[in-house]
Amino acid sequence: MNIVEISKILSNQTRVAILKWLKNPEENFPPHQDIDHFDDGVCVGFIQDKAGLSQSTISTYLNSMQNAKLVIPTRHGKWTYYKRNEEVIQAYLKELKEQL
């Protein structure tokens, strides 16, 4: 868990928005087809539609967020679902509060 690495992720409006949206998937995204719950998060397509950026850009963002361990991907058939990694997010907040 690295403050600078995670701060880089948070230094982009869209990536911050994605993390916020994923706090309440039911409120921010339409229901999924094959799976009627958000236990594993939200598929890339929905996030892309909401963000209004290209597929490759959103995929790149999600990949960088995954590298920083801020989100956890799960594959279900054709789709990849992303959910927040609450442990790392909370650890970051704790670290910031203690060190900053």
Tell me which stretch binds a copy of itself (CB under 8 A): 9-17, 35-43, 55-63, 71-79. Answer: 9-17
CB 64 within 8 A of CB 19: no
Token digits of residue 14: 């869209």
Return the residue of 1, 16, 24, 55 that touches a copy of itself, per CB under 8 A: 16
Contact set for DNA, span 24-53 (CB under 7 A) = 43-45, 48, 53
What SS3 state is found at 11?
A: coil
Q: How far is the CB of 79 from a copy of itself (least distance, A)?
A: 25
CB 58 within 8 A of CB 51: yes
Q: How much is the CA Rg of the chain, to the nearest whole Å? A: 14
99 binds, among a copy of itself, DNA, none (CB under 5 to 8 A by kind): a copy of itself
